[in-house]
Amino acid sequence: MFKSLFYLINAIFAIFYLFPGSILGYLLYKNFNKQPQLTDDFNFLSLDFSSNHVYAFLTLSFFGFLIFFQQKKKIVLTYFFLISFLYELLHILIPNRSFQISDLYGNILGVLISLILFLCFSYVKEKV
C-alpha cells in the first residue's frame, strides 16, 4: 500500500518538476510562468538554497527512506541524489525552465536533511 502511494507521489513529483512551466503557478495564479514561493530562500555560508526545492526533496526522500531504507539502503540513497542532480540538469533542456544552482543546492539539502532526520528517528526508535 505505502509503496504504491510512494510510486504515485514520485510520478506526480516528476511531472510537476519536469513540466515546461509551473503547474502550481497555473492552479494558483492562472499563470504558468509564476512559481509560488512558500518561504524566502535560505542563505548559508554565502550559498543560496531554494526553499521550495528543500521542502519538496525533504518530503519525497523522507517518505522514500521510511519505505525502502532498511532493505535497499544504497539504491534509495543513490536514487534520491541522482534525481536531485538529474531533474535540475534537465531544466537546461525543458522550455520555460532554467538550471539554477540554488535549486540544485536545495534539492541536495532536502535529501540530506531528510536522511539525517530519518537516521535520528531510527536511532531513537531502536533505543525505545
pLDDT tens sequence across 10-20: 999 999 999 99
Q: Which domain holds residue 68?
A: 2-127
Number of domains in the chain: 1
Give yes or no for residue 91 having a pLDDT over 90.
yes
The mean pLDDT value for 39-67 works out to 92
pLDDT band with cut points at 50, 70 and 90 for residue 118: very high
Q: What is the pTM of this model?
A: 0.89
Give yes or no for residue 2 having a pLDDT over 90.
no
**CA separation (Å) from 115 to 19, 60, 81, 120, 122?**
27, 11, 11, 9, 10
